[in-house]
Structure formats: structure tokens, C-alpha cells
A and B are shown apart, each in its own frame.
Chain A
Amino acid sequence: MAAATDERNFKVIGTRPIRHDGVDKVTGRARYGADYAFPDMLHGKMLRSPYAHARIKSIKVDKALALPGVKAVVTSADFPELPDKMEAAGEAPVNLAHLSENLMARDKVLYDGHAIAAVAATSPHIAEEAVKLIEVEYEVLPPAMTVEDAMKPGAPIINPKLRNKEEGDKPTNVAAHIQFKRGAVEAGFKEADFIVEREFRTAMVHQGYLEPHNAVAIYNADGKSTIYTSTQGSFAVRALASAVAGVPETSLKVVPAEIGGGFGGKLTIYLDPIALVLSKKTGHPVKMVMSRADVLRATGPTSGSTIRCKMGCTRDGKLTAAEIWMAYEAGAYPGSPVGAGAMTIIAPYNIPNMIIDAYDVVVNRPKTAAYRAPGATNAAMASETIIDELAEKCGIDPIEFRLKNAVKEGDPQTAGPPYKRIGFIETLEAIKNSPHYKSKLEGPNRGRGVASGFWFNVGMNSSAVVNLNADATASLVIGSVDVGGTRAAQAMVAAEVLGIKAEDVRPSVADTDTIGYTDMTGGSRTAVTTGAAVFMAAEDAVRQLKERAAKRWEVKPEEVAYQDGVLSCGDKRMTIKEMAAQFARTGGPISGRASINLRSVGPSFATVCVDVEVDTDTGKVKILRATCAQDVGKALHPSYVEGQMQGGTAQGIGWALNEEYVYDDRGNLRNFGLLDYRMPTCLDLPQIETIIVEVPAPGHPIGSRGVGEVNIVPPPAAVANAIARATGVRMTELPMSPPRLLKALLKKRGSADTQVAAAGR
């Protein structure tokens, strides 16, 4: 269902062709990173720290090396020391020292699972046995596991070199303090009739992609090397892996294998340079594949957080002020998404007076990585539940309350210029008018919750090549890896411009030597920026077609029209098929190209409505119904857009109810498997309804906005709001697992004062 109409008349965009890589993926033929094998290939395995925080006193590898079948062992001594400062490497500035140490610990291990050494052997079993023979002497140090622990005076210092601007030369665990301010906060709260203030905690959670990280590296005798890996960004792997391994960036070719899910977690690297150095040392191809335990212990989850949020509104539901303090776990090295959290937490609303203080805090947990709208979901859990509570206090429907305060074109963003045309109000209207919201929800312990979310898009760099074949089909070459329908969507863009069928475009995802520089599949940018590049590359091909026709008809190229695969000028007509067949006689092959840097793209909003039923004897929540409305600008392939909305909603529900990292008091991760890291199964979710809202993004050739991320932002708050309406209990901690919810329910039941959980805690 499209809530906004689009006057443009697309022929291919907006249809639902079979995806081009589909048959490979339903027959088992698609090659993911772990499916690659080469003659004489060795298998690499990693030794990982059993301690959350310890100094490495010595590492002895001779017993491991003596095991028959073992070909090499590497430690941090085999990798160059890199500068401890932010440097441009690939798509964004990176602290290469932190990156390198995260992949192979140098003096200290900073989390349970931190890599210490790697072995290459003739079989994975031998490599595993050898790992157990490496002897490491540790001096165990006390860990700091939470932002509260790490910010306390006298907390164990995790990275002795870390400083922040405010504390001068004092060692600290606070990597950064970011502040946003507007208006006069105190005065704003004076205008308020209702104020709600609460403190929230959200647990560290993992992206949970089903495919563990992998890499196969081949270092050749001529100094050239190749890495096959499942990644969201092959050029990022090239930049980062070459730096960590100490080889020239362009001596390395990265071949992006099919990728079994990423959600942001495969934007950075873990195994690639390790496998490369092992390959260099042994002269063999080396394959490394993580176990699930390695994935959970040592790859980047997203931050757990503590957020104190205070908001006020007038009796008639106008927000007057917000005061927010937020601290996010960065993991062992700086770089939590707290900045994004701060910029998104009240982004959907016009609040004249606000102050946001945000802290990036290192803790003895794995270095966090991006996870679908990083930082925004934690933040929305706080702001969107408080909005709901304010609406309840005002006696206003939660959607009406949001409509009263919703941002639109021209309103200020939290940081930066005013919004251009956006579709937040349209997502609210879509939910308000949905069959779901209009339906009656009856029965005991049932409740309906609504929440909204905001997320940016990034533009960045993309390249595309469109080659026209003699039969008027085309090949399309892109550098954006296909995590969930990219090939199909991009082929549709090319087909739209060329006036041919989507099936007649054959898309390929190319390696770093075959296509121009292309940034990662992430940041909701692929459909948008690569889409624009493909659009322009196809236009380039059309321009060449017109030039050919103009030459032949002896007219100016501007006089030639092209529509639906037909070139025309006056009464002269020629089909693309006829022209393509003659390319050799009319000036050679036709190949369109575009390499672009897209700066301004349209952000996206989503609103989610959830119905729940609470088992008040056990605290277990059943999701009865869920609907997601999202502004996608223009849906390229609606089925895969719906899939993104459903997938993000499902991940958000998992985050809401059961997913969390559980550490013991020594800092060891307890639930490092998929039995106890509980992602939703298909029995835990209802059918997830979707409403595609299309408010075209200004300045984009198709009007696309990113569709991949914002859908995860609202669900935890929506579920919390539904629980509140079902039971009267306001939950402030994620996940809202049965033990937590039952405790809150029993507390409420045991207390005569039902206001015990109200404002001002």
C-alpha cells in the first residue's frame, strides 16, 4: 500500500521481478566466504583471551609449532605498530592502532575473547589443537564492565593512553563528551504542565547475522595478494587489512563473496589481515572462519547504554523542553554510536529548549561495531516511552501527541541544517489510518503501543558501469555488495533508464580491481547512492545511443529522443535492439559509466504499532500484531523494501524482549551461543504488516531514501508502551525479559501505591 502518490510514471521501478541472484541462493550454489577453497589451503584458528582485562606477560608458541601439520603461528609481533591517532583509511577516519590491537592484542587483553595469536595448519582440527598448546602468562587486572563502573573515580583504566579534552592529561575511560543545546532548558520546563523523567538501561546486543565472519587470503610471491571475504565493504577491507598487515593498499585485491547478513557488523575487519600475514608466512592460501562463540565474544555488538531522559509538555500536548544525559559502552576502544544516539533521540520532534550530554565510554567488552541505525534504538527506547507517558498524562492519543510535535520541512535538526522534505507526519498518518490501529484490541493484559524513529542516510561514493550487449540486454557492474536484493534493485534502475526489462540486465558485484571506488553497503546508502550512480551510468549509455542515432540521421544529439527502448527524431525511429546489433559499425561498444560522490540525501522516519499480551504470572510477552510504516522515498523493489521493514521490526522485537549480552562478575561472557543469545524464531513473531510511505527525497534522480535501518528504531519503545498500556507497568530496562517484567509486575501488585513507578525517580 502506498500512502503518498508519485506522479512519475516508472515502468520497472516499483515492480517485483525475481531477484537476479535468486536461483543461486535457493540451490546452494551461491558462494559465501566460507565456501571458497583452494589447493594447498591451510586453515587458521585464533587463540582468544579467557580474561576480560589482563596484561600479557609472555606468549610461548614452540609447543604449538611442534605439532605435526602446524605451519605458522603469528602474534602481534608479526604486525606493524600503527599510529595512535585518527587517520583517513578507506571511508571514514580510523584509529589504526586501536584497529590493529583489537585484531591482535599487544600488551594487554581488554575483553573476554580478545585475539592473542593465530595458527595456520593443514586442517582446522589441527589448528584448534595447536591453539590449545600456546602458553600465555597473564597478569589479571580488574575489569570495568559498565559505563557506571568505568566512569567511577578510581575505575580501572582500560587504555592508559586515552585522554579527552575536558580532563586534560588525566587517564580516563571517557573517550568523548558531545553536547547539543538549544533554547533555555530551565525556562522550558517551567512552561511545562507535565514532566516525566526516568533512567533507562539497554543491554549490549549483537547483530546476529547467521554467517560467521570469514576470510581466505592468498599472498603471492610477487607481493600481490587477494582476499575473499564476506564483507559489507570490499574497499574498506582493502584499506584496513592492508594497513594492519603492513602491505601496500593497492597490492591487495578484495573479492567480495556473497554475504550472509551484516547489519553493520561486517563494515569493519577481524580476520582478513591475520589470514593475509599467515599466508605470507607460509606461502599457502589461508582460510579463517569464526565459530559462533568467536562471533559473539569478539566481534562488535552494539553498545549497551544508560540514558537519563527528562521531557516536559503543556497540558495541550506541546513539548517544551528536554534534558538528556546518555552514556554508551564503546567496548574496549573508543567509538560508540553515542553521537548518533544524541542526534536522533529527539530528532522527530520540535522541542524549543533542549540540552543533550553524550559520553563515549570504554569498557572491558568487545569493541562495538555498527548495528542497523547505530545508537538510535537505545535512544528511542528512552524518548519514545517518555513521549508515550506524556501523551497518557495529557489524555491525548499517542499518535495525535506526536502529530502535534512532529518535525516537517524547514524545522531544525538536532545538529545541523533544517530538514528538507521529509515524511514523518505521513508515517504517523499511515499508522493512524491502518486497519491495525483502527481495530479494537480486547482481552485482559493486552495493550497497544506506538513509537517512532529517525535515521540518517549517508551518501558517499559509488561507481557503476553499464555495458550494452548486441542483443540489447545489458550487464551492470557495481561495487556495492548485495546483502538483501541490491543486485535486483540496481538492475531495475538500469532497466528503467534503458527502457528494457529488469530480467534483461545482468548485474554483477565486482572486486576492488574491477570497479571504481565504492563505499560500503551500509548507512542506508546503497539503494540511494549506488542507485544514483547506476541511474547516471545508464543515462551515459543512453547519451551514447542518442549520439549514434544523431550521426546516422545527421541531426544533433539533442534532437534525438529516447523512450521505452526506442530512439526517435521526427518520423525516424530505431529500437535499442536495432542500434545495439550494429554497435561495431557505428563506433564501437556502448558502455556507460558513473562514479559519484553524493552529499545530501534524505533521512527516513518510521512509526511502528505493536499489540502485546502479557502473561502476568510469568512476565512473558506475546507479540500479537505488528505494523511498520516507513517513508522510503521511492521503493525500488517493494518486496525487498517490505522485507527490510519486517526484518528491522523483528530485530527490534528481539532487542525488546530477550536479546542481551550476559557477563559474569569476572567479565566473562556467559551466553556465547545461539541457545542463550535468544534471537526470535518464527514462533515468536506474528505476521509483520508493512505500509510503504513514499515521500520522494529531494535532489535524488529517483527520490529514494535509505530503507534498511530506521525500522529497528521504534520497536523496543513500541513494545514497552504496549506493555505499559496492558499492565500499567513502565519498563525502563532492555531487554524486557520475563524475570525483569515479572519483578516489575509483582512490585506493582505488592504496592498499594500504583504511582510507585511514576515520574521523578
Chain B
Amino acid sequence: MAAHGDKARALCGGTDLIIQMRAGVRRPEYVVDLKNIAALRQISFSMQHGLRLGAAVPAIEIHENADMRRYYPGLTEAAHLIGSLQIQSRASVGGNLCNGSPAADTIPALIAVAAKARVIGPQGERLVPVEEFCTAPGRTVLQPDEILIEFQIPTPAPHSSDAYQRFIPRNEMDIAVVGVGAAITLDPADDRCVAARIALGAVGPTPIFAREAAAALVGKRLDEASIDNAARAATAASSPIDDMRGTAEFRRHVVGVLTRRVVKLAAERARVAQSR
């Protein structure tokens, strides 16, 4: 990658890159297959150190991993929504992020769980919060000579959980028209929200970290009023466009709908999550 700079492009699952090359959208002279590097293929979780998720782990292996399902159900369901099983056999969360699509399912889910992307290049390595990774449609902070190695994600706090939902016209095989990820931590004593992170997909040029939406929940009980406020803040944070997948008007409405649903789902999960 360092030798060929922007003439090269990293290949993991190829479920975006091969299509883009065929359509002439990306025309790399060199394609570097990264998925046989062991470090990119690992999932390791411990209560002390949290999760290290290799950038090239195929989505299907994430879903099959018991720790992932238990501690990061929202991120896991996001990975499980990427296309068909045929696609999930190849597509990776790292690829999903580096492709830089504002509609990528795993990015709002990664932002919700405060994931950091570990990137290395000739200049050394750095950790980039996922909410800072995408800069424009199809563009990221990754330099041509850098590669994404893994995600580092903190251990969920006690009484917390995450959720991700998207809206698509069919029941599978579509790109998100709107996606919302949320992570919620509750105080078991009074069921108040002590921490929250909410992120939105497909409603702006990059995935959106909706801090105001989360702020509407923190310190509050998760009742209709506070969740409505969060939904309104999420809608306000979105800047969708009209395209063949949905109108801006539709997307703004659905951001609110999904924010309500996802916050409730994450909170339900947080209530039953074992104190850890």
C-alpha cells in the first residue's frame, strides 16, 4: 500500500470494491488483499480490555460470536443486516467503514458503542473515533498508505446495551434509507438514563453522531416525553436529500420513528443486561 499510494486499494470482502471497479467508479491499478493478515481476522473480548474486532472479520462471523451477540447486540445486528448471507460471508465491518458510504449499516452502530478505529501506516499508528472517520460520501481520513487494522471498543458499562435498526423498503437486500444506532446506560436504582450515544445513517453526507439527541435523554427517565425530545433532536441533526431510495421529507420523519424505536429497544436490553 505504501509503495503504490493512491494507485492501490485494499480488498477485504470485495462486495463494494469489485462492483465499483466493474462500474469504473474506482480504478485502482493495484488491489491488495488484506484479509489473510491474521490480526485483521480476530475477535477478542475481555471484561478488562473490551473488544478488539479485526477490520476484515466477515460479518457472518460477528453474528456467530457469542460475546458479540451478548455484549454488542446492536453492532452485531448491524453487521447481520449487510446484504445477504452470500454478502455477509465476505463483507467486513472494516470494509463497510472504509467504503465511506453514509448509508453503511455498521457505522452508526460503531459510533453508538464508542468504537475507535486503529489505523497504521508508514508514519506509525493512530486511533480514530469512528464518528471522525468519514469525511464525505466515499471519503475517509484514511491516507492512501494507511490501512485499518481493527476496532477497539470499550466494555459496556453495567446496565447498558445497544441497538441498531434501519428502514428499508423490502425486508432484506436493500441499502438503508435511514439507519439509527443507540447505546444506552441506565441507573438501575431509578431507571434514569446515565449515558447515551445516538448515531444516524443515510441522512447526511456522512454518518451523523447526534450528540443533542443523546443529551435529551441523559439524566431523564426514558418516557415518551424524553424519547420524543431525543427523536426531535435526531431529526434536527439530520440533513437528508431526495434520492431514488427515499425523499428528504420521508427520511426526516423516519429518523424520528427509528430513534424512538431504537432507544426503547436499547433501554429494554439495558434493563435485562446483567450488571457486570
Contacts and interface: CB of A to CB of B under 8 A. Distances in A.
Interface of A: 617-620, 657-658, 662, 670-671, 675-676, 678, 680-681, 683-684, 737-739, 742-743, 746
B173 A681 contact: yes
B171 A683 contact: yes
B33 interface: no
A541 B164 CA distance: 68
A670 B244 contact: yes
B30 interface: no
B243 to A, nearest CB: 8
Contact of B175 (A617, A619, A675, A680): A675
A684 B171 contact: yes
Interface string B222-263: 000000000000000000000111110110011001000000
A690 B16 CA distance: 40
Given A658-B169, A681-B170, A738-B250, 12 more contacts: A671-B244, A675-B173, A675-B174, A675-B175, A676-B244, A678-B173, A681-B173, A683-B171, A684-B170, A739-B247, A739-B249, A743-B249
B45 interface: no
Contacts of B169: 620, 657-658, 678, 737-738
Contact of B250 (A671, A683, A743): A743
Contacts of A617: 254, 257
Q: Which of B167, B169, B174, B245 is the most central at the interface, judged by chain A CB atoms within 10 Å of its CB?
A: B169
13 contacts: A620-B167, A658-B169, A662-B244, A676-B244, A678-B170, A678-B173, A681-B170, A683-B170, A738-B169, A738-B177, A739-B246, A739-B250, A743-B249
Contacts of B253: 742, 746
A739 B170 CA distance: 13
Given A683-B171, A684-B170, A684-B171, A676 B250 contact: no
Contacts of A662: 244
A746 B247 CA distance: 14
A617 B247 CA distance: 15
Contacts of A680: 170
B170 A658 contact: yes
A43 to B, nearest CB: 15
Contacts of A671: 244
Contacts of B257: 617-618
A683 B172 contact: yes
Nearest to A680: B170
Contacts of B174: 675, 678
Interface residues of B, number: 19
B100 to A, nearest CB: 17
A676 B173 CA distance: 9
- CB-CB nearest 9 A-B residue pairs: A739-B250, A683-B171, A662-B244, A670-B244, A617-B257, A658-B169, A683-B172, A671-B244, A739-B247
A535 B242 CA distance: 57
Nearest to B245: A676
Contacts of B249: 739, 743
A735 to B, nearest CB: 9
Nearest to B257: A617
Nearest to A291: B22
Given A618-B257, A676-B245, A742 B171 contact: no
Nearest to B253: A742
A681 B172 contact: yes
Contacts of B173: 675, 678, 681
Contacts of B172: 681, 683
A676 B169 CA distance: 10
Contact of A738 (B167, B175, B244): B167
A512 B173 CA distance: 41
A170 B177 CA distance: 46
A681 B86 CA distance: 14
Interface string B136-147: 000000000000
Contacts of A678: 169-170, 173-174
Interface in B136-188: 167, 169-175, 177
Nearest to B250: A739
A737 B247 CA distance: 11
Contacts of A737: 169
Contact of B167 (A618, A658, A675): A618
Q: Which of B174, B177, B244, B249 is the most central at the interface, judged by chain A CB atoms within 10 Å of its CB?
A: B244
A620 B254 CA distance: 11
A670 B249 CA distance: 19
A738 B244 CA distance: 12
A739 B244 CA distance: 11
Contacts of A681: 170-173
Contact of A742 (B170, B243, B244, B250): B250
B121 to A, nearest CB: 32
Contacts of A683: 170-172
Contacts of A675: 173-175
A662 B246 CA distance: 11
A75 B10 CA distance: 39
A659 B116 CA distance: 39
Contacts of A618: 167, 254, 257
Contacts of B167: 618, 620, 738
A617 to B, nearest CB: 4
B212 to A, nearest CB: 22
A620 B177 CA distance: 12
A684 B247 CA distance: 22
A8 B34 CA distance: 68
B31 to A, nearest CB: 15
B13 to A, nearest CB: 16
Contacts of B170: 658, 678, 680-681, 683-684
A671 B246 CA distance: 12
Contacts of B254: 617-618, 742
A684 B246 CA distance: 19
B97 to A, nearest CB: 20
Contacts of A738: 167, 169, 177, 246, 250
A2 B174 CA distance: 39
A618 B168 CA distance: 10
A739 B171 CA distance: 16
Nearest to B178: A618
Nearest to B171: A683
Contacts of A746: 253
B9 to A, nearest CB: 18
Nearest to A671: B244
Nearest to B169: A658
A617 B245 CA distance: 17
Q: Which of B172, B246, B249, B250 is the most central at the interface, judged by chain A CB atoms within 10 Å of its CB?
A: B250
A92 to B, nearest CB: 35
A116 B243 CA distance: 29
Nearest to B84: A681
Nearest to B173: A681
A120 to B, nearest CB: 21
Contacts of B245: 676
A739 B172 CA distance: 18
Nearest to B24: A132
Contacts of A684: 170-171
Nearest to A675: B175
B17 to A, nearest CB: 16
Contacts of A739: 246-247, 249-250
A680 B167 CA distance: 16
A308 B243 CA distance: 28
Contacts of B177: 738
B247 to A, nearest CB: 5
Q: Which of A618, A680, A746 is the most central at the interface, judged by chain B CB atoms within 10 Å of its CB?
A: A618
A262 B172 CA distance: 25
B240 to A, nearest CB: 12
A678 B173 CA distance: 9
Nearest to B83: A675
A212 B250 CA distance: 34
A239 B172 CA distance: 43
Contacts of B243: 670
Contacts of B175: 675-676
A657 B168 CA distance: 12
